[in-house]
Structure 1
Amino acid sequence: MTELISQYENDIARIEAWWASDRQKHLQRPYSSAKVASMRNTIPLEYPSSIQGNKLWKLLNKHREEQTPIMTFGCVDPGTASQMSRAGMELVYVSGGVSGLQIAPEIGRDHADYPSDTVPRVVSHLFKSQCFHDRRQKSYFLGLSKEEQQKFQINDYLLPMVADGDMGFGSVTAIMKETKMFVEAGTAMVHFDDLAIGLKKFTEKVGRTVVPFSEYLRRLTAARFQMDVMGSEMLLMSRIDSYHAEFITSVVDYRDHKYVKGATNLEVGTLIHAVNKAIEAGEDVQEARFKWLAEAKVMTFPEAVQAAATEQEYQEFSKLMQAKQFPSLAEMKSYASKTVAAPVNFDWEISRSSVGQYLYKSCPQNVIERAIAAMPLTDTTWARMDTPIWKDIVEIHTALREVDPARCFGFGFTGAFNYAGAGYSEKDVAELPHNLAKLGIVFQTQPIFALQGTNMFVYKFAKMFKEEGMAGYLRDIQGPSLSEKHDHGGTAWGGNYLADQYLNIANAMDLSMNL
């Protein structure tokens, strides 16, 4: 008993010293070091995620200081990861959506309905392959002459991996378990988003749903606590998806109230009734939905006040709103009753969806507020934007850097965005990564290359190979691969000499020694 208590007290002291380190001191935990120590194993455990996390932390901050981007793309297989190392990439990104379509037992579109261990298993597989290539390179290099060593190109096969944790796949304990899997797998950084479980509809491009402020912060707290219990230096990134959100699951948190939309024409029926009526009549559901939204004159409560008030009245209402950062609906109604003569009609209940979602107004400001609230628990931030609207990118990240000037940010490029249609010239697109980096957005990924890119290349090769056979293969694949001396699939990449070393060592004991 005495030994256990002594160990517990020593753990507390070590945890507090760790939290005071340069790497950890920017974080603020809503729990004590004693609570963390009470949950730790009695034997010390170490994880490669700490080595990789610290490596990534230095890399991110180096690029932030130099205002240069770290470009990477989605990867789910060891072969791709090894070639990323050989090409001089600095990071590997493991997308949840791509893993769900490439690796999950029952593949499917990005609904985050794959098993919760899918991405950790992908990371673990990649990390083991990284370790293999790291060993074979070291073994080969040390077997060279000094002259050959001088000419040998050493690749970093242990690139840090950034993994997509999606929304955590369940309750607080589910998030803790998934975080534990990421730590054990060798992940350098994991991100969790504020999307609602079971309501991820990226396929329809409609219906993106976020959870309340408080629920998202609970997710991040659970992840951070698990990492602290394990003593891991793995980085935790908050990914805020509210920029494109149309719904929120609940109005339990008053910090969301000013963005929740409701009907201001109370003569219409409920949205659910309108949709069900369209289904029964065989009409287009989306058209019925849009028609109801227009008739109901859906808007936020502050917008409803502006529509009912005079200019002077709205200015008075706004002054009361500005006095408190997060007024509840009850408080906003109180402000309106004091400043606006006309009645303000507003009902956010009749505009709820069939699964209970409330309508939600997406805008840069709610991204900013959520990201700031998540900062004490996280190391980095990703304000998810499928459409890189430059003025919004600048607004969001300027506000966030005012709160944390030393923070590193992330950005994801989608595979279907129409840059030309959004006003980007070829020069703008070419300069975009560096312009983002000037705002501290150094981690930049194209998540779906492992789908869009590899599918396209394989499709083109398959058509060529069917038509031309080995002549086309020799011209397009075998010839260039061998002439460039990259050995993309030969004995060196496969580590034959590493296996030979094992065999030589195992066979060193000649049977004649026993004679």
Structure 2
Amino acid sequence: MLLMIKNKVFDRTTSKILEKLALFPDKSLRRHFSKARSAEDFISSESTKVDEWWASSRFENVSRPYSATDVVKHRGSMPAKTSVYPSSYQARKLFNLLEENFKSGTPLHTLGVIDPVQMSQLARCEGIKVAYISGWACSSTLVGSTNEVSPDFGDYPYDTVPNQVERIFKAQQMHDRKAFLEASIRGSTPVDYLQPIIADADMGHGGPTTVMKVAKLFAEKGAAGIHLEDQMVGGKRCGHLSGAVLVPTATHLMRLISTRFQWDIMGTENLLIARTDSCNGNLLSSSSDPRDHEFIKGIIRENVVPWSEKLIEMEDKKVSTSTISDMEQEWYQENELFTFEEAIAKQCTAGEFKKYNEKKDDLMTNKLGRSYLSLREMKLLAQEIAPSKKVTFDWDAPRTKEGYYMFKGCIEAAIRRSLVFAPYSDMIWLETKTPDLEQARSFSSEIHKYFPATKLVYNLSPSFNWSAHGFDDKALKSFIWDLAKEGFTLQLVSLAGLHSDGVSFWELASSFQTDGMKAYVEKVQRREKKSNCDILTHQLWSGAEYVDSLMKVVQNGASSQTLSTSGESFTETQF
């Protein structure tokens, strides 16, 4: 009886929906709902389409822990194909570029841009096919909704970078329309201003639902791809600053899944880059994930008062900050930090430690079938190989005031995490302390041993003093191409726009104060003309001719005498 009542209610609701759809001009929608008179039929039909979409070459190497039905149930009653996002078109373009370059072992390299001017100049370079937008640059140069600029701590409103993406993408579209019109008149090939944008999503700015909202914003505003890093909200730092706090492996994996789920709901093909800062990180927010246990550090002295307790005691007594700083340094000098396995090596014989490693390898390979042991399992194994010894290890005592654990950042940790992230992402980003080809090669070798199709990302950071790392001019020139041969297909100088903007304007300003217009002509106009920089004629660059063409169409040519790019007042005819 209850089922019959429910069906009657559903039939009445469906009838009302069909009455409303009769007003829609889209016959396909009316036809669809006239055939699918139940939610079950609709879900089944749409789920089949999603499964077919996932079976395409685009998602050949992407895993999902949820089903197509899960996606469809969260989309609502409108079929996904009715919503077409330009960023998804750009994502397909990016995907094809990555595939082509990965197979040929060549780089897809680019420079970070901070404004439409830099974007337009980047697009005119035939050998550069994509654009990058940095969160660091947005944090320090872009006036967002709070009208604040600050260092790269990821503490700005989460729509800051998406809004910059929208600004750049709209500029790309404007210049594309301008170039296409000019090409149609002159019969030439237009510049491809629609370079796919890869953007910095930091750490996602919150929990799963916040990450989904951030991912949705990026897709709506034009980013073909984004990268998410495994740092903690509130503990985020630029990858080249100290003090970054990593999240458990499982927490970052959840961010990646949340992002993909959001894009699947939207029906978009945007690309997801999983970045790990675990090569450099020295703090971990939680010990909840056993995959991280091998890299958490503790002390091997017994009955030590934890640092956090001593700190609170000193704060209660109003001890000066300088004294606290000295005491902190003294505490960590007295209490050397070790991982649990380092603690075993320190407290057992070489033979016992060798036996531990042999049994560990056998346990993981033949019995557990995984690449890690939890602290509990490591302790049991240590007790088995040295039953007469007690291995002292305390990872709680050195925890910070906030409760963060000490973490051993290293290439092995980065590899372990990346192997977890790889199936759920399109690319893996290894953040490094130095530009090191051998380190990159070792990382690539391990990742491609398990995931041969995974494309890698490298930050050619301006934080590195490149000249101090032993590179001669030949090595500097070949570094990008050498990296590409190792599978680091996407490479970027994240803050190139920031630095080039700063140095060029500084040179102009410092000369202008004494040389006046001589400085401007020498450092700007003559260089623009010599290098064929189209900013020389900035009115034409901005699209004035394109707007004039619009006016001709709207006014049937009647405004030809008052157009902005004609007549004696148009000063750019001087060039």
Query: Do they fold alike, i.e. is TM over 0.5?
Result: yes
Indicate yes or no: 2:49 matched with 1:49: no
Secondary structure in 1 aligned to 2:273?
strand
Indicate yes or no: 2:257 matched with 1:218: no
Answer whether contact 1:268 1:295 (CA < 8 A) is retained: no
Please identify, of 188-197 and 382-391, the stretch whose mean Cα deviation from structure 2 is larger: 382-391
Q: CA deviation at 1:25?
A: 2.1
Secondary structure in 1 aligned to 2:432?
coil
Matches within 5 A, 1:395-406: 395-406=442-453
Q: CA deviation at 1:311?
A: 1.0
Secondary structure in 2 aligned to 1:321?
helix
Find the aligned partners of 1:510 and 1:461 in 2 and give their Cα distance: 43
Find the aligned partners of 1:421 and 1:455 in 2 and give their Cα distance: 22
**Aligned equivalent of 1:7:** 42
Q: Residue deviations 1:59-91, cap 9 Å, x none?
A: 112111222222212112111101111133211
**Aligned equivalent of 1:131:** 173
Please identify, of 501-510 and 29-38, the stretch whose mean Cα deviation from structure 2 is larger: 501-510
Indicate yes or no: 2:164 matched with 1:122: yes
Answer whether contact 2:230 2:276 (CA < 8 A) is retained: yes
The residue type paired with residue 356 of structure 2 is F
**Aligned equivalent of 1:299:** 338
Please identify, of 107-116 and 282-291, the stretch whose mean Cα deviation from structure 2 is larger: 282-291
Q: Which runs of 5+ in 2 are unaligned?
A: 1-13, 15-36, 365-370, 560-575
Question: Equivalent of 2:421, from 368, 374, 390?
Answer: 374
Indicate yes or no: 2:55 matched with 1:20: yes
Q: CA deviation at 1:273?
A: 4.3
Answer whether contact 2:136 2:238 (CA < 8 A) is retained: no
Question: Equivalent of 2:553, from 502, 505, 515?
Answer: 505
Answer whether contact 2:154 2:202 (CA < 8 A) is retained: yes
Q: CA deviation at 1:327?
A: 1.1
Q: CA deviation at 1:456?
A: 1.7
**Aligned equivalent of 2:74:** 39
Answer whether contact 2:246 2:278 (CA < 8 A) is retained: yes
Secondary structure in 1 aligned to 2:236?
coil
Q: CA deviation at 1:267?
A: 4.3
Q: CA deviation at 1:15?
A: 0.2
Q: What TM-score results when the alignment is normalised by the length of structure 2? A: 0.84
Matches within 5 A, 1:39-78: 39-43=74-78, 44-78=82-116
**Aligned equivalent of 1:30:** 65
Matches within 5 A, 1:95-494: 95-103=134-142, 104=144, 105-144=147-186, 149=187, 152=188, 154-202=190-238, 205-273=241-309, 275=311, 277=314, 280-283=319-322, 288-322=327-361, 323-324=363-364, 325-340=371-386, 341-488=388-535, 489-494=537-542
The residue type paired with residue 466 of structure 1 is Q
Answer whether contact 2:113 2:498 (CA < 8 A) is retained: no
In the TM superposition, structure 1's runs of 4+ consecutive aligned residues that sit over 6 Å from their partners are: none
Find the aligned partners of 1:275 and 1:31 in 2 and give their Cα distance: 45
**Aligned equivalent of 2:28:** none
Find the aligned partners of 1:188 and 1:157 in 2 and give their Cα distance: 14
Find the aligned partners of 1:457 and 1:41 in 2 and give their Cα distance: 51
Find the aligned partners of 1:226 and 1:122 in 2 and give their Cα distance: 21
Secondary structure in 1 aligned to 2:109?
strand
Find the aligned partners of 1:46 and 1:288 in 2 and give their Cα distance: 59
Q: Which runs of 5+ in 1 are unaligned?
A: none
Find the aligned partners of 1:484 and 1:257 in 2 and give their Cα distance: 56
Q: Residue deviations 1:259-278, cap 9 Å, x none?
A: 11111112432222455649
Q: CA deviation at 1:479?
A: 2.6
Find the aligned partners of 1:7 and 1:274 in 2 and give their Cα distance: 62
Point out the structure with max Rg over C-alpha.
2
Find the aligned partners of 1:446 and 1:133 in 2 and give their Cα distance: 24
Secondary structure in 2 aligned to 1:432?
helix
Q: CA deviation at 1:484?
A: 4.7
**Aligned equivalent of 1:495:** 543
Secondary structure in 2 aligned to 1:61?
helix
Measured at CA, do residues 510 and 365 of structure 1 come closer, stay the same or move farther in structure 2, by a change above 3 Å? Answer: closer
Q: What TM-score results when the alignment is normalised by the length of structure 1? A: 0.93
Find the aligned partners of 1:378 and 1:301 in 2 and give their Cα distance: 31
Find the aligned partners of 1:305 and 1:485 in 2 and give their Cα distance: 65
Find the aligned partners of 1:317 and 1:473 in 2 and give their Cα distance: 70
Find the aligned partners of 1:86 and 1:204 in 2 and give their Cα distance: 31
Q: CA deviation at 1:28?
A: 1.2
**Aligned equivalent of 2:133:** 94
Answer whether contact 1:386 1:412 (CA < 8 A) is retained: no
Q: Residue deviations 1:326-378, cap 9 Å, x none?
A: 21111111111111233211111111001110000111111111111111111
Find the aligned partners of 1:287 and 1:427 in 2 and give their Cα distance: 46
Please identify, of 238-247 and 68-77, the stretch whose mean Cα deviation from structure 2 is larger: 68-77
Answer whether contact 1:386 1:414 (CA < 8 A) is retained: no
Please identify, of 386-395 and 52-61, the stretch whose mean Cα deviation from structure 2 is larger: 386-395
The residue type paired with residue 300 of structure 1 is T
Find the aligned partners of 2:289 and 2:319 in 1 and give their Cα distance: 35
Find the aligned partners of 2:183 and 2:352 in 1 and give their Cα distance: 77
Find the aligned partners of 2:553 and 2:467 in 1 and give their Cα distance: 60
Q: CA deviation at 1:50?
A: 1.2
Please identify, of 319-328 and 353-362, the stretch whose mean Cα deviation from structure 2 is larger: 319-328
Q: CA deviation at 1:178?
A: 0.4
Measured at CA, do residues 287 and 153 of structure 1 come closer, stay the same or move farther in structure 2, by a change above 3 Å? Answer: farther
Equivalences, count = 505
Aligned residues with identical type, % of pairs: 29
Measured at CA, do residues 202 and 179 of structure 1 come closer, stay the same or move farther in structure 2, by a change above 3 Å? Answer: closer
Answer whether contact 2:458 2:488 (CA < 8 A) is retained: yes
Q: Residue deviations 1:425-455, cap 9 Å, x none?
A: 3332222111110111011111112322211
The residue type paired with residue 159 of structure 2 is D
